[in-house]
Chains A and B, each alone.
Chain A
Amino acid sequence: MAAEPVGSFAQVVARVQPKVVKIYGAGGVAGLDAYQTGCLVSATGHILTVRSTVLDTDSLDVTLLDGRKFSAQLVGIAPRMDLAMLKIDGQDFDFFDLSQASEAKTGTRVLAFSNLFQVAQGNEPVSVQHGWIASNTTLHARRGVHATAYRGAVYVLDTITNNPGAAGGVLTNQQGEFLGLLGKELRNALNNTWLNYALPASQLTAAVEEMKSGRQVATNDELRIRPEQPLRLSDLGLALVPDILAKTPPYVDVVRAGSPAALVGLRPDDLIVFFNGRMVQSCKSLKSELQFVESDAEVELTLLRGQDLVEVKLRIPSEP
C-alpha cells in the first residue's frame, strides 16, 4: 500500500488486467470491426464476451495480458442476452468468479476495462476508464432501444464506453470486483443518445453457467403474444379524433351513448395518456397497444380532462 497514492486505482487495475482478454475474429470489411473484448470466468479458460459478427469465424484468436496468444473455440451462446462463451486450452488462468460478483447502486464509482478502438496490442494492457454508475435501471427495449432483444436490468454509465471493440469488456467497482459486462453499441431511442451501459453480473450468472456447460441457452423470448382478435376502440364505444398529424394526441372525439365507454363516464375531448399503465403519446401508439389486448380483456385508461387526471376501467360485457 505504501507506494500507491490514496485515491489511485493502480493496484485495483493491476489485479483486474490479467482477467481481461483481447479477442480477434472476423470483420475488417464493410465497417465491421474485427476485434472486441472478453474476460476470463474460469481457471480452465472460459471467456465471457458478447455475441457479435466478430465471432463468425473458425479462427478466433485471444490475446492475454502477458501477450500469450490462444486459439479459441465458441462453446456456447445466449441469444436473448447476446452473450457468447469462448474457451481456450490451459490451466490456472486468473479469472473472475461470477458467483462472488458484487452489485452497485446509482452513484457508485466504477472502472471500465476494454480494448476500445483496438488501442492495446500484444501484451499491452487494455484501456481503463473511470466513471460513475449514472443509473441502475432497466433497458426499455420494447420501444426505447434499437437492436437488442434484451430488456432487463442494466448499469447505465457516465463514462463513454460506447465504442468499437469495447463490448465484452469488464465493469468493476473500485475494489476491482466484477460488476458487469460492457454491452454492444446501442442508441437510446427514448432521447436519441448513445447508451453507455453494462449488463449486471446478477443477470449473467445463469446464462454463464449454461454456456460453460456447453448447452445452448434457449431463446427466452418475451415478445408479447398478439391475440387473434384484438380489442377495437369502437367495441368500447369510442372514437378518436382523425389521425392527421405525425403524432396526433389521442383525444376522444365521440362516445357512443350506452356503450362501455359512456358507462364509465368518458367524454369527448378527454385525452388518453396511459393505456394499461403504458404511456401513449399519439393515436398511432394507442392503436399499436391495442394489438396486444384480447377483445374481452379489461382495460385501464388514464385520461387528462382539463388539468385533471382521471382513471377508468372498462371492458366489453360478455355476450348474454
Chain B
Amino acid sequence: MPANVLKTMPVYINQLKRILACWRPPSLAAGALTLRHRVLLLWWLTAGASLVTLATAHGQNLAALEQQAVQAAVAQVAPSVVAIQTLGGQEKVGQLLVGTGPTTGLIVSADGYIISSKFNFRQQPASILVRLPHGPRVAAKVVAHDHARMLTLLKVDAERPLPVPIPAPQESWQVGQWAIAVGRTAAEGGLHMSAGIVSALKRLQGRVLQTDAKISPNNYGGPLINIHGQVLGILVPMSPQSEETVAGVEWYDSGIGFAVPLSDINRKLDLLKSSQDLHRGLLGIGLQKGDPYTSPAKISAVKPRSPAQAAKLETGDQIAAVDGQPIATQTQLQLALGHRYAGETVTLDILRNDQRLTRQVKLADHIDATEHGFLGILPSRSLQDGNTPGVAVRYVYPNSPASLAGIQPGDQILTIGDQPIGSPSEAVATMGSFFPGDKVAISIKQPETSRSLDLIASKLPTDIPPALPLAHDPLESAKKPNPLPVGIQEIRIPEFKNRANVYIPSSYDPRLAYGLVIWLHGPHGNPGNQTLQQWQPWCDQHDLIIVAPESAKAGQWNLAEIEYLRKVLDHATAAYQIDPLRVVAYGYQSGGAMAYLLSWKDRERIRAVAAIDAPTPSLGKVPENAPLQRLAVLTTEAQQSRFKTRITRGIKALQTARYPVTVLSLGEKPRRLNAMELEQLVRWIDTLDRF
C-alpha cells in the first residue's frame, strides 16, 4: 500500500522525500537517518502529511534542509564542470562586445569530450584552454557544432579518465522540480550557482527545457541539475525569434532560461565526436494562413529542391501524422518536426482529396533560396483572343539563352518544360520552378518551322534595355468602346480619411491588361497630381495606370496605412483590367521604405518595388523569395544620402535573398529621378513580364 500511495503523492512531497532521503545530518555522530526517522517519514507520507509537519518533526528548518540538498547536488556535479578560456578572435559579435572572462563546459565522456554553449565561442577564438577539475590547464579544440541546439563539442587530451556526470532520467523530469544552474566562471576557477525550478518542458519546438534559475554568460555551457546532482541539460541562450548564436542573451538573468536535455545530446554524441556538425532538419513547405493553434497543417507552398518536393508533396496536402503521431494543428506539426535534425527521415501521413497517403521524407540542412531562371524573352502583350496558342516574342535580350539559341522577335513560344503556354503569366509561373543553370526544354514556332530546344536558364537581368519595340499593335478603338471614365479620378475608401487620385489612360480598353503603379510620396507632402500629370504620356504609351494615395498626416506615412494602401490596390484591381505581372510600388525616401513594406506585406500582388533614395525598412526581414511571387527591385545610390549605409545593406540583403536589384546612381546628392531616369524607370516597368 505505501508504494501506491507514494505514486499518487503530489510532486513536491516526493521531492521533499528525496531531499530528506539524501540529507545527512552534519555531525558524524548523528550518522545517516535513523530507522526511527525513516519510519516516521513513511508514516507521514502515507498519511499525506504537509511539508510543515515533515520538516518540523525532523527538528530542522525546511529551508535549511533544502539548502543542504542544493549544496550537495552542486558538489555532486562540480568535478565534471570545467572552466574554459579563449584567446584571440573578434572583439565584437553583432553589436555585442565579447567578454574576456572564463566560460563553462561539461565533461560528457571520460576520454576528454566537453560540451559547451556555442555562444562561448561566438568570437571564433584562435585558441581554447580548458582547466580540468583536478588542476591542469590543457589546450582544447573544437570538434563540432550542433547548430540546431546551439552547442559546441570540445576535445582535450586527458591523462586520466575524466569524471562524467549522471544524466537525470527523462521520465523523472517534472515542471516544478528543483533546477540548479552551475557555471565555473568565478575567480580562480570557482563555481557559480543559481537555484530555481523547471518552468516548462519541450520549449522552442521541443529542443529545450525552461528554468527560472538565473541563466547568463556566468553559466552558459554549464549544466542544469536536479536536486540529486544529476544533469537535466546544458544551459544555452536561445530565442524563439532568431537562430543567431547570440540570440537570447538579452534574456539573461530574467527568469527565462533554457537548457538542452543531456539525453538528447548523448543520443547525438557519436555523430558530433566524428566531427559532424548538426543542423536543424528542414522540410521545405509553407503552411496556409490561419491560427496555428487551431488550423490544420495544410501546405500552401512546396519549395523547389526541398525534401518536400522530392517526396512529391503538393500544395493543398494536409499533414495528418508525423511518424504515426497524429497532427491536428500547425503548432503540433512544428513541435513534431522542430526538434528533428537534418539527415533524419520522417514518415508523413498526407490527406489529399480524401485519400490518405504515406511519404518518407529525409530532412535537409538547408534549402537553396528560390532564384528565378530566365530565358531572355520579353513577350508581346497582344489581345488574348484564345485562338492562337503560345506567346509571341516582343524582344530578345542580347546574349541571353534565347538569343544564343536563335530565337527572334515574332517567334511563338508554345511550351516551356512541357507545359503549354497561353499567356505571359503562364510563362512566368512555369519559369518559377527553374533556377539559373537549369536545363529548360521549350518548343517554339518560327515563321518557317516549329522546333524543340533545350536552353540553360540564366539569371533575371538587372540592366534596363536601351529601347524596346511596342508591346502590341495599335488597337482599333472603335471595336470596343470603353464605358469607364478616363483621366484623373478620385478613389475613396470609406473607412479611411486618406485621399487618392488615379490616372486612367485616355485610350483605356478593357480588352488589354494594364500595369499598375502605386506612387508613395516622400516626406515633403504629396505632389501627387504633379506626378500623375508627369506620368500621363507614359501611361498612355505603355498601358499603365498610376495611383497616388496621400498619407493621412501630411508628408508622414504611418505603418498602419499599409492596410489603406492594400485597400486602394484592391479597388484598382477590381475596377480595371490589371496585368498581375506589372504591379509596382514606387516611392521616394519614406515613401520608398513604405513601398518595400507594402511589397513584403502583399507578396501575392506586388511584383516590383522602385525605391528612390529609400532604405529597406528596419522592421522585419527581407522576405524569402518564392517561386510564384517574383519581385524585382530598382533602387538608387547617392554619396551623400543620409540613408547610404542602410541602402547599401538593404541591397546586399535583397541580393542575398536572390532578388534582381537594379541600382541607379544619383551621383553625389540624393534627389528625385530626373526625366531621363524616369524614362528608364518606365522602361524597367515595361520589362517586368520578361521570362
Contact = CB atoms under 8 A, between A and B. Distances in A.
A309 interface: yes
A249 B128 CA distance: 12
Interface stretch (B66-74, B324-332, B371-379, B479-487): B66-74
Nearest to A5: B52
Contacts, number: 142
A308 B87 CA distance: 15
A271 interface: yes
B252 A193 contact: yes
Contacts of A190: 99-102, 185
B190 A137 contact: yes
Interface stretch (B209-217, B272-280, B383-391): B209-217
Contact of A282 (B74, B88, B129, B193): B88
Contacts of B85: 279
Given A192-B217, A246-B90, A132 B252 contact: no
A9 interface: yes
A135 B217 contact: no
Contacts of B313: none
B139 A281 contact: no
A59 interface: no
A194 B217 contact: no
B252 to A, nearest CB: 6
B147 interface: no
Contacts of A191: 99, 101, 103, 185, 216-218
A190 B214 CA distance: 17
Interface stretch (A37-45, A105-113, A215-223, A254-262): A105-113
B63 A193 contact: no
Interface stretch (B54-62, B496-504, B516-524, B629-637): B54-62
Contacts of A90: none
B91 A135 contact: no
A308 B51 contact: no
B88 A137 contact: no
Interface string B102-136: 11000000000000000000000011010000000
A194 B609 CA distance: 45
Contact of B193 (A134, A248, A279): A134
Nearest to B64: A174
A271 B51 contact: no
Contact of A134 (B92, B188, B192): B192
B642 to A, nearest CB: 28
Interface of B: 51-52, 55-56, 61-64, 66-67, 70-71, 74, 85-92, 96-97, 99-103, 126-127, 129, 137-139, 141, 157, 185-188, 190-195, 213-214, 216-218, 252-253
Given A132-B194, A134-B192, A247-B90, 16 more contacts: A7-B51, A106-B190, A135-B191, A156-B186, A156-B192, A159-B214, A160-B214, A174-B67, A190-B101, A190-B185, A191-B103, A193-B252, A249-B127, A271-B127, A304-B129, A307-B157
28 contacts: A6-B52, A6-B55, A6-B56, A7-B66, A106-B71, A106-B190, A107-B67, A132-B195, A134-B214, A136-B186, A137-B188, A140-B187, A156-B186, A156-B192, A158-B214, A174-B67, A190-B99, A190-B101, A190-B185, A192-B96, A193-B253, A245-B88, A246-B92, A247-B89, A271-B127, A281-B86, A304-B87, A309-B129
Interface of A: 5-7, 9, 105-109, 131-132, 134-138, 140, 143-144, 156, 158-160, 174, 188-194, 245-249, 271, 273, 279, 281-282, 304, 307-309
